Each structure stands twice: as structure tokens, then as C-alpha cells.
Structure 1
Amino acid sequence: MLRMLFGEAPAKPEGRMAEAVQAMTDYASLLHKLVEEGKDRNHKARTYEIWTIGLIASLDELEQSCYAASRFCAMVKSYSVEDMGPDERLNYRRYVYFDKNAFIRLFAMLDKLGTLLNDMLSLETEQFKRQFSYFTVLHRMRDKKLHPGLAGPLTDIKNQYDEPIVRLRKRRNVEIHSMNSELQDDLMQLHLNFGDEVKLEDINSQMEDLAQCLDMAAGTVHLVFDYALSLLKPAVSK
């Protein structure tokens, strides 16, 4: 959808993104089959189908936001906002918009995944913490030694991308609870070097964090729905 901003056709998922989308699509299709066969007496299948379709859209929106941020990031060459001309400053503001959109969507999508995972596996995380995140759900699985065949690989991929996830979480928290995230570095520079020109934040490093965390999100989704398919297939074949 957003690639139209750059005169491009919509992209087809590749790599981990393609694996994640395929797993979710297969899972939603099996759930729909259960509904059509009248095997959804508690309406869980229809609920999970709708949640899964929503997650497909959420992952796609995250990827598009990351892509748009990367394209506008590449158009920014100056070392400070003061050095930018009108066009470059506008592209910088566009980068900031899609960068924020991406890291906010990242955690929103993971938390939606956590909600589905908690209900689907009857983890009852809400008894441990009323409002919980995906990472709380994963902690619950490890702490209670529940579904180790899934909890282990999910923990591995979380640990693999822990550093960029932590950085993006801090930026997300600043943006939501404190100030515009792109101004946090400006404030620090003003405290340390009062009177000097305020340099632009390291937007290329920020883009690398986004790219890594998109890969983490897609890999996580693939693991969850591949496992969900393994649980659902026996019920469909009956």
C-alpha cells in the first residue's frame, strides 16, 4: 500500500515474512473449515480466525511502515535539522513519522499475538498480571514450563534480537509517556554541549534496529502459528 508513495507496486512477502503470512493464512483457513463444519460450539474458532486475520494485516502494516521509513531515511543526508533545506527537512519529518509508526506498531502487534497465544494455550497470564504484554506471556510459559516446544524457540529468537528490542522499547516508552522520541537525543546534547549545534540522531542505526525487529516479529509469528497448526490439524481431521 505505502509503496505507491514511491511509484512502486505492492511487494510480495519474502523470506520470514512469507513464512509467517503463509502459516497465519493456513491457520485461519483451518479455523474457517471448523466453523463451516459446525465444530465451533464455543465460538473460539471464529474468534481466533478473526484475530489471525487481524495479525496478518498488522504484520503487513508493520512491514510497510518500516519500508517507508527506510526510503525517507535514505533521502536525509545532513547532519542536523538546521543544515537541511525545505525538501530534505520534509523528508526527515516523513522519516520520523513512519519510524514512530513502525516501532509503535511493532509492540502493538506483538501484544496482539500475546493475547491470542495466552487464550489459545490457556496460559491464564491475566491471573499473574492483569494487563500483560507478549513478553509477559512468554515469561509465563517459561516460568511454568508450559509448551516447552514453543517456549524454547520463542525465547531463542527473543534473545537473539534483545538489544534492538530494548532500544526500540525505550524509544516507544519515551514517545508515549514523555516526549517526542526524536527530541530525546537533542535534549541530551543540549545538556552536555550547551551552545553547540545539535546533531541529528543516528537515523541509520535506528533503521537497522527496525529492520532487525521486523525480522524478529516475522520469525516469532511464524513459530507461533506453525505450532498452532500442529495443535489444530488433528481436530480438523476428525
Structure 2
Amino acid sequence: MERETQMLRGLFGEAPRHNEGLLRSTFEAMERTVLQLQRLTNADNDPKHIWRKYEIWARGLITSLDELEQSRYAAERFHSRVTKTYQDEMTPEEETDYRRHLYFYKNGLIRVFSVLDKLGTLLNGVLELNTGKVKQRFSYFTVLRQMRYTGTEPELAEKLGAIKESYKDPMSRLRKQRNTEIHYMNSEMQDDLWQRHQALDGRVKLEDIGHNIADLDQALEMVCKTLLASFQHIARLLRAKS
């Protein structure tokens, strides 16, 4: 994955990311699964294109995780340049960095749920859950509920459920922000207006962007643990089919 990690770090004149720890383990598990799917395709020429489809989805998830990590990193780097409490205290340069932080932060929080939903699509296919019969447009969390309801792969369902519960608070806060960002027009302007109504002097206080970054860090960790557990389990299922 080193070849794909220069894009946003290059904005800061930095070297590409070197994957370590949980992030590295997650990428490696995903890449091993891609190789397994390739071997299954080569073994029987994949007449129904099932393995090839899952390979494409797995590759897409690798790219999506990389993009999520880069968005989080850029949001954090621009956040580190913002030192003021009120918007009217910022220099033009600092306000530009603040706007850049917001851009990458919002991009990151949207990608958190995008990655999970893409994983839900892959799990739904590999595990033959038929979640689309229950809900046509389903999320990762719908797939997880379907696993529990049907008793499919209970070991994996229990593990994914435990991960979900352990990150419930930050994920709930991010989900509310994601929904506001996607479904409400001019959410930032409405927030500024609300703040002016609350403040006697009409000044706009910046939100706690440090707390936002902490939530995004927790979400990235949750996504990595979820992907790692899922791809390790998928790999075991594919080995049984080899």
C-alpha cells in the first residue's frame, strides 16, 4: 500500500505513510484475501464471475481504507495549525487552515460509514445473507443484525457486535454529524447563526475540533478492527473452498 499513501502527505512535503500496528495488520489481511480470491478464480476460471466480483470489492475496500486514513491525517495536520478560540481572532492564513481542516474532517467522517457499508455489501455476498430482501438499501449495521437474526457465522457476528459496542459513543456522535452534513442544507451557517443567538457579543466560537479529531481517531480504529476481523474470517471460509 505504500504506493497509494503519498497523495495527501505530499501536501505537507512529507514522505509516504509507513503502515504499522493495527493499520498494517488490516491491510495485510485484506491483501491476503485478494490473493486467495485470485487463486480461486484461476482454479476454476470463475464461470459466474463470483470470485472476481468479490476481489474487486475487496480491492475497493483497501483503497477506501487508505482514503479514510489520509483524510483523518490531513484533518489532524490542519487542526494543529489552528490555535484560536473565536473565528474573528484568526488570521486569514489560520482561517484557511481551519476551513481545510473542516473539509478533510467532514470527508473523513463520511468515509467512516462508507467503508463500513461497503464491507456490509461484501459480507452480505460472501455469507449469502440476502439482506436486500429485508431492506433494499442496507447498511453495514443492517447486515450485522441480519447475521444475528439468521444465526450466520455466530463467532464473527459476536466479535463484530463487541467491536460495535465498544465504540458506540464516538460512532454515535459521528453518525449524527454525518447525517447533518448529508441531509441538511447550510448546516455550518445554521450552526453559526445559532451560536450568534446564544452569544451576547455575537462572536462565533469554534467547535471543539480536538474532540472531533479524537472521535475520528476512534472511528478509524473501529473500522480497522472491523475490517480485520471480517477479512480474517472470510479468509478462513475461502481456504475451506480451495
- TM interval, shorter chain, is over 0.9
- Give me the TM-score of the superposition, normalised by structure 1: 0.95
Does 2:34 align with 1:28? Answer: yes
Aligned with residue 126 of structure 1, among 124, 132, 135:
132
Greater CA drift, 141-150 or 33-42: 33-42
Structure 1 equivalent of residue 110 of structure 2: 104
Equivalent pairs: percent with the same residue?
49
How far apart, in 1, do the equivalents of 2:117 and 2:226 lie? 12
How far apart, in 1, do the equivalents of 2:225 and 2:93 lie? 37
Name the CA shift for 1:223/1:174 in 2 (closer, same or farther; >3 Å): same
- Aligned pairs, how many? 236
Displacement, 1:190? 3.0
The question of whether the paired residues in 2 share the 8 Å contact of 1:185 and 1:201 is answered with: no
Structure 2 equivalent of residue 188 of structure 1: 194
Displacement, 1:194? 5.3
In structure 2, the gaps of 5 or more residues are 1-6
For residue 112 of structure 1, what is the amino acid of its counterpart? K
Displacement, 1:195? 4.2
Displacement, 1:55? 0.4
For residue 15 of structure 2, what is the amino acid of its counterpart? A
Corresponding residue SS for 2:19: coil
Does 2:23 align with 1:17? Answer: yes
For residue 26 of structure 1, what is the amino acid of its counterpart? R
Name the CA shift for 1:154/1:181 in 2 (closer, same or farther; >3 Å): farther
Superposed CA deviations along residues 83-123 of structure 1, whole A, max 9, x for unmatched, are 11011001001001100110111111111100010111011
The RMSD of aligned alpha carbons is 1.4
Name the CA shift for 1:156/1:184 in 2 (closer, same or farther; >3 Å): farther
Name segments (4+ residues, structure 1) moved above 6 Å. none
Structure 2 equivalent of residue 168 of structure 1: 174
Displacement, 1:149? 0.7
- Give me the TM-score of the superposition, normalised by structure 2: 0.93
Does 2:233 align with 1:227? Answer: yes
For residue 163 of structure 1, what is the amino acid of its counterpart? D
1:83-94 equivalences under 5 Å are: 83-94=89-100
Name the CA shift for 1:14/1:231 in 2 (closer, same or farther; >3 Å): same
Displacement, 1:182? 4.3
Name the CA shift for 1:152/1:71 in 2 (closer, same or farther; >3 Å): same
How far apart, in 1, do the equivalents of 2:163 and 2:193 lie? 34
1:138-153 equivalences under 5 Å are: 138-153=144-159
Aligned with residue 45 of structure 1, among 51, 60, 85:
51
How far apart, in 2, do the equivalents of 1:23 and 1:30 lie? 11
For residue 209 of structure 2, what is the amino acid of its counterpart? I
Corresponding residue SS for 2:16: coil
Does 2:84 align with 1:78? Answer: yes
How far apart, in 1, do the equivalents of 2:107 and 2:187 lie? 12
In structure 1, the gaps of 5 or more residues are none
How far apart, in 1, do the equivalents of 2:148 and 2:125 lie? 16
How far apart, in 1, do the equivalents of 2:56 and 2:43 lie? 17
